[in-house]
Structures are given as structure tokens and as C-alpha cells.
Amino acid sequence: MSHFLLVHGAWHAAWCWEQVVPRIGARGHSARAIDLPGHGADPKPPGGVTWDDYMERMGEVIEAAPEPPILVGHSLGGAVITGAADRWPERIGALVYLCAMLPDAPDFATRFQPTSVLTGAIRPSADGSLMELDPKVVRAAFYHDCSEADAARAAARLRPQPAGAFQMRFELAPDRFGRLPRHYVECLQDRAIDIGTQRAMHAKLPCTVHVLDASHSPFYSMPDRLVDVLARIADGRAG
């Protein structure tokens, strides 16, 4: 049995994995989906959240895991699991990037510019501490292949993204981050991080690649197929 730690992306929270966690359990593995600081049920005001707060939370949940977990990062969550791998590689089993940021250098955040429906749709708050989305683009950017019910329920739960979390720092040391098995799950219909950007990232840092013909949100549009991929990763690691 493997243990998965599921890390959401920007504007989202642990709720986005609600259809994945029980399916992982049905495959004989365990999973925990977390709220990063300032997201979901976490009480920290999002305007004050920093990258260090994200890393502190990751350290807490990795320490509490029953075994070195397989970290699954969606979108911005890919940067988060990379930061965790910089710090605690000995406590992590593997890294899975789900249509996610895959940092290749310390200045990755300043260079990351995917072709995206989100371009021009992100609105900073007056003090610059939060990033809000134009609600008109949410369905097209994240959920275009999801059911109406799932898309509406997800869109209603999105919250402003802490801008401070984008002050990322990476080391990417070969003997730390570089020693961990890496998997990348491409989503061919992604409109938030386009497939060209996904492939350019994992070309720089080779991964075992898996492919889903999905939007940015396969945890809603095809949770069974996503869990098929995660189970294969877990079974391959166990074997």
C-alpha cells in the first residue's frame, strides 16, 4: 500500500480532490488532500500568506504521513511539491505533477508564462496581496469538460489566491530534489497550462510521462482514469 498526499493548485483547496480520495482508497492505497494556508478551511487570512507558510504546512503533513508519501501536485501545487522535495527528500517517496508547474531553476516563477485562457483574467487586489479571477473565464479555463454540476460546485468554492505564495524559492539540488522519482501527467485539453508548456517543462527535467485527454481538472472530468494513473505509479513503485 502507498500513501498519497494531494496538493491543490491556485484558487482551489482540498475539496478539488473529493472524487479522487475515495477512489484511491478503493484501490488499496490511502490518500490525504490538504488545504494550503489561506485556502479552503484553513484559518490564515490569505492576504498574509507567504511561500514559507506553504512550506511550513508541507513539512507538517509530510511529518505526519504514515510512510514517505507520493506527493501529487496540481497546477501551482507542482511548485509546492518541488519546494518540499528541496527540503525533505528523505521523507518523500515520489513526485507526481498533474498538469502542473515543474520548476527547473531558482528563477522559474519569473519566467513561467503559459499560453492560457487566464491571461488577462487575473485581477490583483488593491494592496496587491491577493489575486482574483474574472468569473467569466473560470469554466473555460478549468472545467470545460466537466459536468455542469461539478463545474458549478467547484467554481462556487474558488477563493482569492495569496499573491505572496508566488515568491517561490528553489534549490533543485541533484542529491535532494533530483534523487526522487518524477512523473508528469499531461492533460491534452488543458487551457490553463497549455500542453506545449507542459511538454517544455518536462523536457527540461525528464519524468515518466502519463497522458490524459482532459482539461485542467481531471479530478472532476475523469477521476477514474486519473486514479488508474496514480495506482500504476504506486504499483510500479511498490514493485
Instruction: Let me know: does 212 contact 188? Beta carbons within 8 Å.
Output: yes
Query: Is the confidence at residue 9, as pLDDT, over 70?
Result: yes
Distance set, CA 131 to CA 11, 43, 126, 204 (Å):
9, 18, 10, 29
pLDDT mean over 213-236:
97
Residue 14 in grid coordinates: 482540498
**Of 35-39, 78-82, 118-122, which range is least confident?**
118-122
Question: What is d(CA 109, CA 113) in angstroms, rounded to the nearest whole number?
Answer: 9
**Of 83-92, 102-111, 190-199, which range is least confident?**
102-111
pLDDT mean over 159-169:
96
User: How long is the chain?
Assistant: 239
Percentage of residues of the chain with pLDDT beyond 70: 99
- Residue 145's domain comprises 3-238
pTM: 0.97
DSSP class per residue in 124-170: E-TTSSEEEE-GGGHHHHH-TTS-HHHHHHHHHH--PEEGGGG----
Q: Hey, is 239 helix, strand or coil?
A: coil
Q: Which residue, 49, 233, 234, 82, is CA-closest to 170? A: 82
Instruction: Let me know: does 160 contact 132? Beta carbons within 8 Å.
Output: yes
Report the number of distinct structural domains present in the chain.
Answer: 1
Question: Phi and psi for 38 in degrees, rounded to 5?
Answer: 85, 5
CATH number where 9 lies: 3.40.50.1820
**Model confidence at 113, in pLDDT bands (50, 70, 90)?**
confident
pLDDT mean over 80-104:
98
Residue 237's pLDDT is what? 56
pLDDT mean over 129-138:
96
Query: Is the confidence at residue 112, as pLDDT, over 60?
Result: yes
Query: Is the confidence at residue 239, as pLDDT, over 50?
Result: no
Place of cell 492505497: 29
Mean of all residue pLDDT scores within the chain:
96
Residue 96 in grid coordinates: 507526481
Q: Hey, is 111 helix, strand or coil?
A: helix
